[in-house]
Structure 1
């Protein structure tokens, strides 16, 4: 097995160090040693040396909420045309997605390449499945997952963007995608979109139980209604013994009801090990990020759509989205800005894999010690907080201990 040594890097902004990685290229690739720069024995024969050049060394990003099949990155800018509301947005996307200047497979590949080149090596992507696109969009994401397996790990959510109940045949298409390789059962707005939360969640959790897969629920519902749907989800999580297997995505108004409800939800999320995925929206009703961290709730960050038919925002750069997470939470202290980096990397990894190392609070900085996975990012910056503010471009990305991107460009097959 190949050994990789990153020389003269500063883990989490600390002293210059040399980081040794064993089994490079294998799924088992992990950091085996972190030592002062220049110290230690001679490099083993055949070791691959990566010059850190004094840059920061951080855990690579984990994007846990991205729509790879809903993207126009790399294409000409298009004015926003959708009306407000989930269903009008769905219909606008349905009207336009086939008419883009490049086919869906190419668009998925372009976006995934850009994400990897900027430092993301772990991805949880939605793949829209409905009676209009059937499995076409899912198959495009699946093909990209397989093509770029050397550079990133991609998990696919079978996502009923148009609901499960509004159009006959959708649950059957979702189930077919699970047979073909989707790794997560998706759901969306059980009350406001499908208007039958019991039946909607019975289908979602029924499929999850049948195929022994986790669940990810897109929740845009406001206030008390969002809490009602969440309580139904928590009820099923407890009854089915699905602790550690449920993620609430968006859920950005659960903290708007009252202080007692906010505290209860945080405590129940912690008790049932329900994770959360945020895209850092500029909204005031969210469950507090600091309180979630201190309670031990797994939290990850994602980029959502990428300059698509839903929104003109998105640039495939999780460092940019980390800045947004800090900004929308009004964080100023370095510790909290660094916590956003931890959420965007190790926090997200624990959402994808609940057995992975998880954050223990806002001051926790895991991911760069002996035994940690070799998913790493070198980036220019004086300190981690400064890197979030400056979002430098001098980056080197390692997946399973191999360099897969440098200077915002992919390395063809890793090395």
Structure 2
């Protein structure tokens, strides 16, 4: 793959708090110059105007400017990217795959901290600067995998903002001591309390969710629940989550990951459930699954829900898929939803970039509809990525490597390599 070389900066952008982008096209619009000060967009003007003195210049070369990608569902401790190819022999199913991973994850070669750090670096190099990543906590690994993800976060502290979810992949009740381990994880670097399939994994949804929400409430952290459960079973678990969100007033602090039940629920029941979720500001994280589990993306957005996109596991002991490129996953989101028109493909890009940012920070203005293109206004965080493409929809289809990634107003990656 040809590399375009380092970004053309007039001085060392890594040592200042400002940056001036020349000749970029915000969301594919007119050529503009963008001034960044103190990690935020300070001005957007017509291209060719006078540049401020003492601020490094970055030549935009007419490329698209969009918000950087936000990966809101990625297993940073579940990857073989960068390692020799291993034929996939995962058995299928949540519990069987969990046991398969448990039998092999220590045999992956480099230490888990090294693998997680490499994985996070790849995400950043491809355009991600905001991450919500899982760290598995169970009776087998205890806090070992959490410690690896914490190390990865520290290694890339200047390149991305990373939230870590303490994730009970094997449930909270099937093995002794797991709730105490989860509490220890919240004291050791995790900032989000995780849960998984309260009925399907633990078989005791009330007790499972009581533990999840009690720890979240006591430690003042958000909740993120993996909910693969389909149909009526998933609706039952979702109802219990809604009940606890309301009782503890965790409005804006709860995310449902996968939420496959929303793909199986027809209207008008779906509209009722989405209205309840919107009332309590419960967000959704999807990994763009194919087939019957594809979420009705436009319905979620139009109902007022915050929706973000994630990469899930990346070429691990569960699945051979994944390349740490959320632009690829954005293509998958558009494809699985059957989007063909440009404005809908661009909506998938808005979800993969700004939509995920609102999942992580509910104070940010959410997507107002399928035609909303936020994130590039004066005052918005300078979390940005420059992409090649005639239009945003073309960038999603072509997924070209010439990218420049900006975090907190600093260039942190260029042409798929960390700076």
TM-score by length of 2: 0.95
Q: How does 1:242-281 map to 2 (within 5 A)?
A: 242-281=250-289
Report the counterpart of residue 48 of structure 2 in structure 1.
38
Alignment deviations for residues 272-325 of structure 1 (CA, whole Å, 9 cap, x no partner):
100000000002244421111111100000000000000000000000000000
1:19 maps to which residue? 34
Superposed, 1:220-239 pairs within 5 Å as 220-239=228-247
Residue 365, structure 1, aligned to residue 373, structure 2 = yes
Which residue in the other structure is 1:304 paired with?
Answer: 312
Residue 204 (structure 1) aligns with? 212
Return the match for 1:66 from 74, 81, 106.
Answer: 74
The CA deviation at 1:48 is 1.1
Deviations 1:226-255, CA, capped at 9 Å, x for gaps: 000000000111111111000000012333
1:326 & 1:189 partners in 2: Cα distance? 26
Q: Which moved more, 1:96-105 or 1:118-127?
A: 96-105
Match of residue 6, structure 1, among 18, 21, 27: 21
State how 1:108-123 maps to structure 2 within 5 Å: 108-123=116-131
- Pick from 55, 61, 68 the counterpart of residue 63 of structure 2: 55
Distance (Å, rounded) in 2 between the aligned partners of 1:215 and 1:123 = 15
Give ranges in structure 2 of 5+ residues lacking alignment.
1-15
2:121 is aligned with 1:106:
no
Deviation at 1:258, TM superposition (A): 2.9
Distance 2:294 2:260 in 1: 5
Distance, in Å, in 1 between the alignment partners of 2:295 and 2:152 is 34
SS at match of 2:20: strand
Q: Equivalent of 2:140, from 132, 136, 146?
A: 132
Partner of 2:201: 193
The reply to whether residue 146 of structure 1 matches residue 154 of structure 2 is yes
User: Contact 1:251–1:286 (CA<8 Å) still a contact in 2?
Assistant: no
| 2-structure distance, mates of 1:75, 1:320 | 20
CA distances 1:164-190 after superposition (whole Å, capped 9, x unpaired): 000001110110010112110000000
Separation in 2, partners of 1:360, 1:42: 33
Cα distance, 1:68 vs structure 2: 0.5
**Deviation above 4 Å: which 4+ runs of structure 1?**
none
Work out whether residues 301 and 343 of structure 1, in 8 Å CA contact, stay in contact via their aligned partners in 2: yes
Report if aligned partners of 2:294, 2:336 keep a CA contact under 8 Å in 1.
no
Q: Give the total of aligned pairs.
A: 404
Residues 387 and 403, structure 2, Cα contact 8 Å, conserved in 1? yes
For residue 86 of structure 2, give the secondary structure of its aligned residue in structure 1.
coil
The alpha carbon displacement at 1:401 in A equals 0.7
Q: Cα gap change, 1:15/1:188 in structure 2, threshold over 3 Å: closer, same or farther? A: same
SS at match of 1:259: coil
How far apart, CA to CA, are the structure 2 residues paired with 1:3 and 1:283? 45
User: Measured at CA, do residues 356 and 277 of structure 1 come closer, stay the same or move farther in structure 2, by a change above 3 Å?
Assistant: same
Q: TM-score, normalised by structure 1?
A: 0.96
Kindly state the Cα deviation for residue 67 of structure 1 after the two structures are TM-superposed: 0.2
CA distance in 1, matches of 2:305, 2:389: 29
